[in-house]
Amino acid sequence: MTAALANFTALVLLLTITAYSVAGGVDYGAGIWDLLAGRGARSDRARELIDHAMAPVWEANNVWLVLAIVVCWTGFPLLFQSVFASLYPLFAVALLALILRGAFFAFRHVGVGPRGQRRAGVVFGISSVLAPFFFAAALGAIASGRVAVSEPSVPVWQACFNPTSISFGVVSLAATAFIGASFLVGDARRFGMPDMTDYFKRRAVIATVVLIIMGTIALAVMGLENSRLLSAMLTGLGTPFALAAVIFTPVVGFLLWRGIFLWYRTLSVVVVGSLVFAWGFGQSPYLLPRQLTIAQAAPPLGTEVLLSIVTLLVVVLVLPSLALLVYLDQRGALESP
Amino acid sequence: MEITWKTRSHNPEYIGGLINGAGQVNFGIAIPSFDSVLIGLNPNSVAPGLTSVPADARPSIVEANITHLAFDLMVGLGSAGVFLMVWYFVVLLGRRHLPQSPWFYRVASLAGIGSYIAIECGWTTTEVGRQPWIVYNLMRVADAVTSAPASFVWIMLSALLVVYVLIALIFVNVLLGLAARWRHEDERELVRAPEEGAPYGPRPELASDGSVSPMGPLP
């Protein structure tokens, strides 16, 4: 019973991280393109689209982050302690970026004067880069096996910054830009801005190429640094997901390159989700590779049962409201009359 | 929350007041037996005192006083809020119009600040009152301290303070700017919904030729 519930909790945690990577990725990706837009009339138009597309779901995605943290500390308190004891610098930067991002997106929106708006936009853009990089670097640090149970066994800086954690961060930036551009293509089409459709279509194709290159480099780095991790990810439960990512990434790039506006958003969600699943299933049954399994980290049965009830409540309450928000947004129902 | 030294019945309720190391309460207004009545609706109810807990497992004298004053301030502000509400409804139901007195609106505008102070006092009450425990009777604060170096904790605290002060300053600045802009537009009778152009607000139409900025014209 406990084992089954612990596995269920681990799956919920993985799904929450995946939801954050996908939904948050769309959001952060828009911020990255905002930062890269440069100056000029066309960039202003791109920013206008980004603003317009993001405003209704402003920071709503952080629900997933909160849920992941709560599930982690109630479901796997030992994992929570270990991860934060070893990786606190990464989370510190990511959380500062999160605060600045939310605040300065709003400031840019209502900021007085074009110069103030531009400055707020830069802070918003830079924090949109920092947050996904550092969150993903934390996942990479866990995957590299440098997070020891309860207290750090290697110097914290070494646990945080190593080839695997940095490659996870870089891949997440590429994936974030990729899914962000793909959804902005959809938004541009929805708002009837053909010039912006072309603009983000080109960027989505570039992001696809960058994602493929960075993904390959990351696999090579992981292979050189920790071949056991790589083989676990490529031959274990994670294999189908790794394959899905490898197959569908170029498909999205191809569809957008040829201007076939079908399935490209769904498939980019599949790509980002598969990347997270490849990591999560790749290192199962371990929460911390070769140190802490799901069963070892499970809390007492009572906690597990309560957490499962709370999870079901989340499914009943939070999912429909977020789904409705996304549905209304994509239908354009949140436009002012 | 009550500065009661020894466990006893007929315990008085102190409004304000400070306890000293010898267990004597100075200043403050004592309402005889009222604490016992609050606990058990009966002056014979026994109120446990601070000394019923070993000295190393209870708040220090200073902490006990902070807890007591924070709690009193919270209850005081809450009661003032209730008073304001009663005032409002008495006028509304009795005279069928909103209160006319400028003092009502002066106090009402202070109630916003007061509610924040009350919330902070409530937190102070629980957090200081729980000392020296972080999880009551299970884990002491001293045992829960991070293994991260103190320098990191200080750097992080300073960074958060700087970021939040910065955000607060910009926030106030933006609000003042918006107020000035809306006033300006009201004067020109270009009345717009105040929510327009703000996050969570309805979005203005986006022109497909990009000629109209969602921000609208600046003053």
| DSSP string across B141-194 | GGGG--SS-HHHHHHHHHHHHHHHHHHHHHHHHHHHHHHHHHHHHHHTT----T
CA dihedral for A7, A8, A13, A19, sign (positive or negative): positive
B19 and B75 fall within a common domain: yes
Q: Model confidence over A26-43: pLDDT tens digits?
A: 989 999 999 998 888 888
| Rounded-to-integer distance, Cα B119 and Cα A155, Å | 40
B116 lies in some domain: yes
Biggest CA pair distance of chain A: 61
Which pLDDT band, with edges at 50, 70 and 90, does B218 fall under?
very low
In whole angstroms, how far apart are CA A1 and each of A76, A304, A307?
16, 10, 14
Most confident of A112-116, A170-174, A253-257, B44-48: A170-174
Q: Where are the beta strands (DSSP E) in A114-267?
A: none
- Nearest chain A residue to B155 by CA: give it: A92
Which chain B residues are Cβ-neighbours of A151 within 8 angstroms?
A: 147
CB contact under 8 A, A112 and B202: no
- Mean residue pLDDT of chain B comes to 81
Angle at A132 between CA A131 and CA A134, to 5 degrees: 70
Phi-psi region at A260: left, alpha or beta (left = phi > 0; alpha = psi -120 to 50): beta
Q: Across residues A15-36, what is the average pLDDT?
A: 91
Is the link from the previous residue into A285 a cis peptide, with omega within 30 of 0? yes
Structural domain includes residue B30: yes
For residues B69 and B18, membership in a common domain is answered with yes
pLDDT confidence band for B214 (50 / 70 / 90):
very low
CB contact under 8 A, A110 and B198: yes
Amino acid B207: pLDDT = 47
Chain A touched by B148 (CB under 8 Å): yes
Verify whether the Cβ–Cβ distance A96 to B167 is below 8 Å.
no
Please report which confidence band the pLDDT of residue A239 belongs to, taking 50, 70 and 90 as the band edges.
confident
Q: Look up residue B211 and give its DSSP letter.
A: -
Place of tokens 């009402």: B108
Which pLDDT value is given to residue A332? 67
**A55 to chain B: which residues are within 8 Å by CB?**
199, 203
**Any domain includes B161:** no
Contact predicate B210/A48, CB 8 Å: yes
Strand partners, A293: A286
Cβ neighbours of residue A87 under 8 Å, at least 6 residues apart?
A: A138, A141, A142, A147, A156, A159, A160
Nearest to A112 among B177, B206, B210 (CB): B177
Shared domain for B40 and B105, answered yes or no, is yes
Segments forming the whole domain that contains residue B48: 13-144
Q: Is residue B64 part of a domain?
A: yes
Residue B159 lies in a domain: no
Residue with more model confidence, A60 or A269: A269
Average pLDDT over residues A137-145: 91
Q: What is the pLDDT of residue B206?
A: 54
Pair B67, B103 in one domain: yes
- The 10s digit of each residue's pLDDT in A111-126 is 667 777 888 889 999 9
Spacing of C-alpha B10 from chain mean position: 31
* Structure confidence at residue A291 (pLDDT): 87
Instruction: Tell me what pLDDT residue A169 has.
Output: 95
Do the beta carbons of residue A204 and residue A185 sit within 8 Å? yes
To the nearest whole Å, the CA of A325 is away from the closest chain B CA by 12
pLDDT at B209 over 70: no
Pairing assessment for the beta strands B18-19 and B13-15 based on DSSP bridges: unpaired
Phi–psi pair at B203, nearest 5 degrees:
-90, 135
Record the pTM.
0.80
Q: Distance of CA A59 to CAs A95, A103, A181, B118, Å?
A: 13, 10, 18, 28
Q: Are strands B18-19 and B25-26 parallel, antiparallel or unpaired?
A: antiparallel
What was the pLDDT predicted at A14?
92
Distance of residue B127 Cα from the nearest chain A Cα, in angstroms: 21
Mean pLDDT of B92-118: 87
Name the nearest CA neighbour of A184 among A22, A21, A20, A29. Answer: A29
pLDDT of residue A121: 87
Q: Which two tokens stand for residue A16?
A: 């929450």
Query: Number of A:B CB contacts under 8 A?
Result: 82
Record: contact B203-A152, CB cut-off 8 A: no
Please indicate, yes or no, if residue B5 is contained in any of the structural domains.
no
Give B140's strand partners: B133
- In chain B, residues with a C-beta closer than 8 Å to the C-beta of A56 are 203
Q: Are residues B207 and B112 in the same domain?
A: no
Contacts of B214 in chain A (CB under 8 A): 48, 51-52
Boundary (domain end) residue, out of B109, B129, B144: B144
Q: Is B184 in the same domain as B113?
A: no
- Total domain count, chain B: 2
Q: Tell me, what's the pLDDT at B34? A: 82
B207 neighbourhood in chain A, CB within 8 Å: none
Report, as an integer, the average pLDDT of A10-31: 91
Question: Under a CB-based contact definition with an 8 Å cutoff, are residues A130 and A137 in contact?
Answer: no
Give yes or no: residues B212 and B132 share one domain: no
Structural domain contains residue B186: yes
B169 reaches A (C-beta below 8 A)? no
What is the SS3 assignment for A244? Answer: helix
Which chain B residues are within 8 Å of A103, Cβ to Cβ? 167, 170-171
Cα–Cα distance between A170 and A173 in angstroms, integer? 5
- Band (pLDDT 50/70/90 cuts) for residue B77 is very high
How far is A139 from A169, CA to CA, in rounded Å?
9
What's the token pair of residue A209?
A: 């190429």
% chain A with pLDDT above 70: 97
Q: Which residues of B touch A120 (CB under 8 A)?
A: 170
B184 and B82 belong to one structural domain = no
Which domains, and CATH codes, for chain A? 2-331 (1.20.1630.10)
pLDDT band at B210 (very low <50, low <70, confident <90, very high): very low
Q: Tell me: pLDDT of A18 over 90.
A: yes
In a shared domain, residues B117 and B177: no
Phi, psi for A5 (deg, rounded to 5)? -65, -35
B191: Cβ–Cβ under 8 A, 6 or more apart, which residues? B185
Residue A20 has pLDDT above 50, yes or no: yes
Higher-pLDDT residue of B25, B217: B25
Same domain for B88 and B125: yes
Q: Is residue B157 part of a domain?
A: no
B154 at the A interface (CB within 8 A)? no
Kindly determine whether residue B163 and residue A99, on different chains, have CB atoms separated by under 8 Å.
Answer: yes
Asked whether residue B206 falls in the same domain as residue B137, the answer is: no
Q: Are residues B19 and B96 in the same domain?
A: yes
Residue A132 predicted with pLDDT over 70: yes
**CA–CA distances in Å: residue B215 to residues A114, A194, B144, B175, B194:** 10, 22, 49, 15, 12
Average confidence (pLDDT) over A317-335: 76
Q: CA-to-CA distance for A203 and A290, rounded, in angstroms?
A: 40
From the list A65, A60, A121, the residue with the least C-alpha distance to B200 is: A60
Is residue B176 over pLDDT 80? yes
